[in-house]
Copies of this chain bind each other. A is one copy, B any other.
Amino acid sequence: MTDSSRIHAHYWIETGVDPRQAAEAMAGEQSSGTFVKIPGETAELKRRSAARVESLVELERVAAASLPGAKGSGPFQRAKVRLSWPLDNMGTSLPNLLATVAGNLFELRQFSGLRLLDIELPEAFLDAYPGPQFAVEGTRRLSGVHNSPLIGTIIKPSVGLSPEATAETVRQLIDGGIDFIKDDELQADGPHCPFEERVDAVMRVIRTQADRTGKKAMFAFNLTGEIDQMLTRHDIVARHGGTCVMVSLHSVGLPGLAHLRRHSALPIHGHRNGWGLYSRSPHIGISYAAWQKFWRLAGADHLHVNGLRNKFCEPDESVIASARACLAPMFAAPGRGCEVMPVFSSGQSAWQAADTYKALGSTDLIYACGGGIMAHPSGIAGGVRSIRQAWEAAAQGIPLADHARDHSDLRLALEAFPA
């Protein structure tokens, strides 16, 4: 499947011109061509550097253009197209790969719709990028959670708590037996909750608990910031005995993540806020299948996939497809598949555990609940227990309602939160 000398990219297109011509324009614009024939574009140079249309499969036609600014008056033909580029055009560079497969082509007038669906990369990228350092196995080792999902939560309120108030929330969460806690992506290093003070206060609580029980909850500290700030903050977390850092991926960019990865001694939790820009429109954007490959190679260990029946607009089948993509090897090289741990989050409570397990067929995931834990009628500890009980039921194949009968935290959760 892998072509060792070429990049392949799959697109969904909609065009008001001949689809073959549209695909050729795309290939030309993104490699050796321009809008007029120019002298330097020799046959030899084209042979060496031109992108190729590898396949084109026509789909349905629609009467109206889905996006404005396109050539043609209709009908508009939809199609799937695969292009390929010589690896030597951009070398094994993710930022330059992005400019090639997802650069100017979204603006071409040949298209009234264009989505990047997937990419296939030569294994040479593994020489340039280390990929995830911890992923599923390393995360399980550091958190001590081996046969179930990491039950997690997000500190709420998202922003506004002091370091001490954050640490107090953490204390209640770990008293309840939580495995994983993350900062909200809105909480980084604002003056009400400075990064180092937060790490100090939170890790004091986590270390005390670890000393007492042997179980060290994993806290993903949001170190999103400038390049040097991120390295400094990483070192602060490591120095205080922390076991995870978090970044907002779109905020730090591919080179920002790769730079942090090369420095990091800790798992990197990749938050995808801003993802709606890529995913929300069916007519323009980048699919999760393509998107996650960039961030995996650049070094994320955990990637967000939303959750079943989430508070956002993503359908359940899309969520599960994303989680499966995270767990599937992206290269055939043994031990170099770059698999990462999917993070289920957004409106999650005890209700979705069984369906998540059934759909994914794996417990290699982080299951993060915000309000689903924090707003539990018995308090935070009850919230954590209710999620764990829901996953016990899921893994043992016990119907949720049956398990709730003799597990009061689960029962209260099912009553309190919307199915």
Q: Provided the pairs A40-B161, A68-B282, A188-B91 are in contact, do residues A108 and B226 lie with their beta carbons within 8 angstroms? A: no
| Inter-chain contacts of A105 with B (CB < 8 A) | 276
| Inter-chain contacts of A100 with B (CB < 8 A) | 186
User: In this assembly, does A414 line the interface, its C-beta being within 8 Å of a C-beta of chain B?
Assistant: no
> Which residue on chain B has the smallest CB distance to residue A258?
B226
Main secondary structure of the interface of A (DSSP, over half): loop
Check A49–B159 contact: CB distance below 8 A: yes
Check A98–B251 contact: CB distance below 8 A: yes
Q: Provided the pairs A224-B96, A252-B255 are in contact, do residues A275 and B107 lie with their beta carbons within 8 angstroms? A: yes
> Which residue on chain B has the smallest CB distance to residue A249?
B253
Bound-state CA distance A253–B251 (Å) is 7
Question: Whole-angstrom distance from the CB of A266 to the nearest CB of chain B?
Answer: 18
Max chain B Cβ within 10 angstroms of own Cβ: one of A45, A91, A313, A417: A313
Interface flags for A21-37 (1: CB within 8 Å of B; 0: not) read: 00000000011111111
Interface size class of A (residues with CB under 8 A): 35 or more
Q: Provided the pairs A68-B282, A165-B40 are in contact, do residues A252 and B88 lie with their beta carbons within 8 angstroms? A: no
Q: Provided the pairs A38-B374, A98-B251 are in contact, do residues A256 and B281 lie with their beta carbons within 8 angstroms? A: no
Check B255–A160 contact: CB distance below 8 A: no
User: In this assembly, does A152 line the interface, its C-beta being within 8 Å of a C-beta of chain B?
Assistant: no
| Inter-chain contacts of A370 with B (CB < 8 A) | 34-35, 38
Copies of this polypeptide in the complex: 2
| Inter-chain contacts of A37 with B (CB < 8 A) | 375
Question: Whole-angstrom distance from the CB of A372 to the nearest CB of chain B?
Answer: 8
| Inter-chain contacts of A252 with B (CB < 8 A) | 95, 253-255
User: In this assembly, does A259 line the interface, its C-beta being within 8 Å of a C-beta of chain B?
Assistant: yes
| Inter-chain contacts of A125 with B (CB < 8 A) | none
Question: Whole-angstrom distance from the CB of A412 to the nearest CB of chain B?
Answer: 14
Interface flags for A177-195 (1: CB within 8 Å of B; 0: not) read: 0000000011011111000
Partner among B89, B157, B250, B273 whose Cβ is within 8 Å of the Cβ of A38: B157
Check A281–B67 contact: CB distance below 8 A: yes
Residues of chain A whose beta carbon lies under 8 Å from any beta carbon of chain B: 30-41, 45-46, 48-50, 67-70, 88-91, 93-96, 98-100, 102-109, 114, 156-161, 165, 169, 185-186, 188-192, 224-228, 230, 248, 250-256, 258-259, 271, 273-286, 306, 311-315, 347, 370-371, 374-375, 417
New contact pairs (15) apart from A34-B158, A95-B225, A251-B254, CB-CB < 8 Å: A49-B192, A50-B160, A88-B192, A90-B190, A96-B189, A96-B224, A98-B250, A99-B251, A99-B271, A106-B276, A106-B277, A108-B311, A226-B258, A250-B253, A256-B256
